């Protein structure tokens, strides 16, 4: 395994990420299916104030705005993704708001949102579990009374059952993505090697994902202040079977303030 930098998340979400993870984060059909789910299970209304926390380029939020939702905000740390989302919103004439901040300390006013979503396995990036807890605490602070928090997580039980130490796929005609994985306690370390047939090595980086059991994430949400927590296991939205890493089989968690 390559040398690991625990601050990997500060720089990995760039142009290369949109290529290596295009099967997930650039698939409009998949995005529409996931937004359909959000509307259904959360009972979203057009008047709701929605925060897409760790929302990247805002693929879910832009789709919500296209559907007529008027108060949608995306918050992410990646300068590249935030600027990309802003450009797309402007191009399409959407009023989606984009903010570049740390999800642990957003600086936004308390009780600002009816609904907060964290999609696409964008939680669990910190080696220290207390840093993940800070995101849950912040989400609780930002929610209005009786607001809903939707968390999309890797299904730990399913991942351990079908653990694959290595995978690869062709991102496009030029780019090959190889991933080597190993577990250390509850943390999944993944070394990602990205190679261009024309240019050679593009990326060799190791990143981490903390895996949460249903009991542990429930305890953390209750600790943050949420009073009801519902969990749906084995959540799969892809049309084709394949190895999508932590995005392959997920569980969705809905907590209410």
Is the pLDDT score of 208 beyond 90?
yes
What sign does the dihedral 245-248-251-256 (CA atoms) show?
positive
In a domain, 2, yes or no: no
**Whole-structure pTM value:** 0.93
Alpha helices in 177-255 (DSSP H): 214-224
DSSP for residue 102: B
pLDDT at 8 (0 to 100): 96
Instruction: State the CATH number of the domain containing residue 230.
Output: 3.40.50.150
In this prediction, residues 219-242 reach a mean pLDDT of: 80
- In degrees and rounded to multiples of 5, residue 38 shows phi and psi of -60, -45
In a domain, 109, yes or no: yes
In a domain, 175, yes or no: no
In this prediction, residues 83-95 reach a mean pLDDT of: 98
Length of the chain: 257
Residues 6 or more apart whose CB falls under 8 angstroms from that of 206 comprise: 1, 2, 3, 4, 5, 8, 189, 190, 191, 192
In a domain, 198, yes or no: no
Interatomic CA distance for residues 36 and 86, integer angstroms: 23
Mean pLDDT computed over every residue of the chain: 92
In this prediction, residues 50-55 reach a mean pLDDT of: 98
pLDDT at 243 (0 to 100): 52
In a domain, 38, yes or no: yes
Structure tokens at 217: 């994430």
* Neighbour tally for 13: CB within 10 Å: 23
Number of domain units in the chain: 1
In a domain, 208, yes or no: no
In this prediction, residues 186-209 reach a mean pLDDT of: 95
Cα dihedral 106, 145, 86, 8, rounded to 10, equals 40
In a domain, 29, yes or no: yes
User: For residue 85, what are the domain limits?
Assistant: 8-154+213-256
In a domain, 113, yes or no: yes
pLDDT tens digits for 101-151?
A: 999 999 999 999 999 999 988 999 999 999 999 999 999 999 999 999 999
């Amino acid at each position: 395994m390559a040398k690991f930098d625990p601050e990997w998340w500060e720089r990995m979400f760039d142009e290369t990420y949109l290529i290596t993870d295009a099967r997930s984060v650039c698939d409009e059909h998949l995005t529409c299916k996931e937004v359909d789910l959000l509307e259904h299970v959360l009972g979203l209304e057009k008047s709701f104030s929605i925060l897409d926390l760790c929302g990247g380029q805002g693929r879910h939020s832009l789709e919500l705005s296209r559907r007529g939702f008027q108060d949608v905000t995306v918050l992410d740390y990646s300068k590249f993704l935030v600027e990309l989302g802003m450009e797309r919103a402007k191009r399409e004439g959407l009023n989606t708001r984009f903010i570049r901040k740390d999800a642990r300390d957003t600086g936004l006013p308390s009780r600002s949102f009816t609904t907060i979503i964290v999609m696409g396995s964008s939680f669990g990036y910190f080696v220290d579990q207390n840093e993940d807890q800070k995101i849950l605490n912040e989400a609780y602070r930002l929610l209005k009374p009786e607001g809903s928090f939707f968390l999309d997580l890797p299904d730990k039980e399913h991942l351990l059952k079908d653990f694959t130490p290595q995978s690869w796929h062709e991102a496009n005609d030029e780019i090959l993505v190889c991933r080597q994985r190993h577990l250390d306690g509850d943390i999944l370390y993944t070394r990602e090697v990205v190679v261009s047939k024309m240019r050679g090595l593009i990326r060799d980086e190791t990143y981490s994902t903390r895996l949460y059991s249903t009991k542990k994430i429930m305890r953390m949400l209750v600790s943050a202040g949420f009073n009801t927590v519902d969990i749906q296991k084995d959540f799969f939205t892809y049309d084709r079977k394949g190895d999508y890493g932590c995005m392959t089989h997920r569980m969705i968690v809905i907590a209410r303030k």
